[in-house]
Chain A
Amino acid sequence: MAARLVQRIFPHPLLTLFLTVTWCLLINELRGGTVAFGLILGIAVPMLTAAYWPDKPKLLRPLKLGLYLVIVIWDIIVANVEVALIVLFKSNDKMSPTWVAIPLELRTPEAIAALAGTITLTPGTVSVDLSDEGHALLVHALDAPDPNAVRDQIKHRYERRLKEIFE
């Protein structure tokens, strides 16, 4: 009974935490009043929107999520430099832009969304479409002489980690 009450008040505990922190950052100061109002928002918003988001994404290994974020940010930096060099020094004829179709093992919508976002954020690749039942992702690569290498890298570096985190 108590567990169900808690479940009703905090349908998404992480979202509550996230909204509270975001509110404090927006106000840009850490005082009792700010935290209290952030908490009110953090409790009200998930409750009011619970009907539209019935399933709770499971975060099996939150620590690994931290590691994943670090890896992604590092990749964004490295890949940004790579793309800048390609843009500056590689002639258009020598570039080989190509489509890459990536078969997905991930099944959770949140995990697939995270993967698609990661692919777009790491420069050189943009995720474009999903197959009708969500088993494949269409990705465009700016300069990939070997599309299979891009596919394997994405599967190994990102999808494997997301699978550990979410599923």
Chain B
Amino acid sequence: MTEIAQIAVTIALILGALFVLVGSYGLVKLDRPMSRLHAPTKAGTLGVGSILMASMINSFVRGDGSLHELLIMAFIFVTAPVSAYFISKVHIHRDRNIDPLPRPPADRVWATKDLPGDRDRAG
């Protein structure tokens, strides 16, 4: 039983480390600001999730069960989009090396970003 658990913990740890590594590699490899945002913010979710899973299995096998990891996961899932959102906001406002934004299909303008010509339209 403990052996199976140890194998499970090991697999989860390695998988997690792999995803975190790929996330960091993506940050180096991708070339446009908006694309670079994708790799670390998201490959991280599964990486961290996997490592926390390893921690949780380990604690239960040792008879010292802990559910803190669930909380960490929940908080990461709630906060990760917020930081991604802020970083992408900075990108669209600094306007460097960004593809031009499309117009909103409904309504007049994007809430925080004026496109060329928007000032006349919004009037």
Q: Which of A41-49, A50-58, A131-139 is near enough to bind chain B? A: A131-139
- Which chain B positions have C-beta within 8 A of A71? none
* Contact A121 to B30, CB < 8 A, known contacts A25-B68, A28-B68, A131-B104: no
B19 A80 Cβ-Cβ under 8 A:
yes
Partner of A99, one of B25, B80, B99: B99
Asked if A28 and B108 sit within 8 Å, CB to CB, the answer is no
Q: Are B88 and A84 in contact (CB under 8 A)?
A: no
Chain A contact residues, majority secondary structure: mixed
In the bound complex, residues from chain B placing their C-beta under 8 Å from that of A35 are none
In contact, A142 and B38 (Cβ under 8 angstroms): yes
A97 touches B32 (CB 8 A): yes
Whether the pair A127, B81 counts as a contact (CB closer than 8 A) is yes
Complex Cα gap A26–B103 (Å): 45
20 other A-B residue contacts (CB within 8 Å) besides A83-B39, A95-B30: A25-B68, A84-B22, A87-B25, A87-B43, A95-B35, A97-B34, A97-B35, A100-B102, A123-B43, A128-B89, A129-B110, A129-B113, A130-B110, A131-B110, A131-B111, A132-B109, A132-B110, A135-B107, A136-B107, A140-B88
Residues of A bordering B, CB below 8 Å: 22, 25-26, 28, 76-77, 79-81, 83-84, 87-88, 92, 95, 97-104, 116-117, 120-124, 126-136, 138, 140, 142
